[in-house]
């Protein structure tokens, strides 16, 4: 029988700097996960604040060193928390927002609106008013209705970008592909020239450049080459926003390009096709935050039959990536050794699709064990929900051995506060 211990956990999937202490306990940002679980409860999102800040600085330097007129914008939709946005802003990054709420969070974090881009495929008048009031750097036009709305609501010239669909079929999950001809995002290639002409009819719309985004969780860099080539087919502009999309490793067998490789490939293609004097923007989200976050759970029950199901105290209420995209994760029972077992790590929700990971080899789980899932920093908190009245987990920042609560756990009182209850009638 194979034995596994803490030393068998693939720490390369965890936040940079994750280690084991002398007792084999897993430390995130210098904090023992066991202690964090005792203090904050489970499930909980744990963020290594230092690792996130270093990643943001790495991104900023990778682009600025190759193309001084560049701006890295953290895609706040990947983790819409003022605390998280604040870390990236202090590291020198701007912010990409796609709704008035994300803008409000970014402003609360102290992020500079002059380093923000506001986009979205279905902006309301309220969204546009918020962007105009904040005076974001660029407001992205996604459709011709945006042209009418912005022109009607603007009282002074508004710098805008036009989002185009570059006709690139991304090699990713269908739900993450955004740059193909049938995408709901952007202006289809055959209509771009007419859209440019329409924007220029409005005296308060100042068209500065083009925006494109191929998709998410992209692991082949040639897809970005195709995006830039497609943009070069239109007239030249002083500003180009290439969106985000760089993929990350979720399990040990994955390979993802480094930030340096990504920056070198993009900047080289921009210089070759668009010139060296343009303003270049990129919008990393997943590749900025994913590895810096993990989720901690407790095992609630274990069923051993034809399959072994280890059920934890969270699930699709705090991680929809598996159910939506079939994303693979690599959870581990932590802080102890034991016989290896192939198990299904499942959640507590009344849904057969509530699975965190299939056929995972880990220490034979028992009730009360701590299970940690790495690479949950992106889109898990974003899509957290109240299925079966699950309370959304807290966000805990860890840095140099000190933890702090960044977002508190939701309470039942908050769920009930929204209910408009009728007075109870007396019997009889």
pLDDT the model gives residue 223? 87
CATH class of 50-289: alpha beta
Q: In terms of DSSP bridges, do strands 138-141 and 116-118 run parallel, antiparallel, or are they unpaired?
A: parallel
Q: What is the pLDDT of residue 168?
A: 60
Residue ranges of the chain whose pLDDT lies below 50: 170-180, 428
pLDDT at 71 (0 to 100): 98
Distance, CA of 106 to CA of 110 (rounded, Å): 7
Please report the pLDDT score of residue 423 as a whole number: 80
pLDDT of residue 167: 62
Domains 3-48+291-415 and 50-289 share a fold: no
Predicted confidence at residue 246, as pLDDT, reads 94
Which pTM value belongs to this model?
0.94
Q: What is the residue extent of each domain of the chain?
A: 3-48+291-415, 50-289
pLDDT of residue 170: 47
- The CATH superfamily holding the domain 3-48+291-415 is Lyase, Ornithine Decarboxylase; Chain A, domain 1 (2.40.37.10)
Tell me which residues are annotated as active site: 350
What distances in angstroms separate CA 92 from CA 113, 261, 263, 382, one per listed residue? 13, 20, 16, 23
């Amino acid at each position: 029988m194979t034995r596994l211990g803490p030393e068998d956990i693939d720490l390369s999937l965890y936040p940079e700097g994750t280690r084991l202490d002398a007792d084999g306990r897993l430390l995130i940002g210098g904090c023992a996960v066991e202690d964090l679980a005792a203090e904050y409860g489970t499930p909980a999102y744990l963020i290594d604040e230092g690792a996130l800040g270093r990643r943001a600085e790495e991104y900023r330097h990778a682009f600025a060193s190759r193309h001084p007129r560049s701006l890295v914008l953290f895609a706040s939709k990947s983790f819409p928390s003022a605390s998280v946005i604040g870390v990236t802003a202090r590291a020198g990054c701007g912010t990409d927002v796609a709704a008035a709420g994300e803008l409000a969070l970014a402003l609360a974090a102290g992020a500079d609106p002059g380093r923000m881009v506001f986009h979205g495929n279905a902006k309301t008048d309220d969204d546009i008013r918020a962007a105009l009031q904040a005076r974001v750097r660029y407001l992205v036009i996604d459709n011709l209705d945006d042209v009418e709305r912005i022109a009607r609501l603007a009282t002074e010239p508004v710098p805008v970008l036009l989002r185009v669909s570059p006709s690139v079929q991304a090699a990713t999950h269908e739900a993450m592909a955004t740059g193909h001809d049938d995408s709901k995002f952007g202006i289809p290639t055959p209509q771009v020239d007419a859209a440019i002409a329409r924007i220029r009819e409005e005296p308060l719309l100042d068209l500065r450049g083009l925006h494109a985004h191929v998709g998410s969780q992209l692991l082949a860099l040639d897809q970005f080459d195709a995006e830039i080539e497609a943009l070069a087919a239109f007239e030249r502009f002083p500003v180009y926003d290439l969106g985000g999309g760089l993929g990350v490793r979720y399990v040990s067998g994955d390979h993802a390009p480094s930030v340096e490789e990504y920056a070198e490939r993009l900047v080289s293609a921009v210089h070759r096709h668009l010139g060296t004097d343009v303003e270049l923007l990129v919008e990393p989200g997943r590749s900025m935050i994913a590895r810096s976050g993990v989720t901690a759970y407790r095992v609630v029950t274990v069923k051993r039959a034809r399959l072994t199901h280890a059920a934890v105290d969270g699930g699709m209420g705090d991680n929809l990536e598996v159910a939506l995209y079939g994303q693979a994760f690599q959870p581990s029972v932590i802080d102890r050794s034991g016989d290896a077992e192939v198990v299904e790590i499942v959640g507590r929700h009344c849904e057969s699709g509530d699975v965190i990971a299939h056929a995972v080899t880990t220490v034979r789980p028992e009730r009360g064990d701590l299970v940690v899932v790495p690479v949950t920093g992106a889109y898990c908190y974003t899509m957290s929900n109240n299925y079966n009245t699950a309370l959304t987990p807290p966000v805990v920042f860890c840095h140099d051995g000190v933890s702090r609560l960044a977002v508190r756990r939701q309470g039942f009182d908050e769920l009930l506060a929204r209910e408009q209850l009728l007075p109870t009638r007396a019997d009889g």
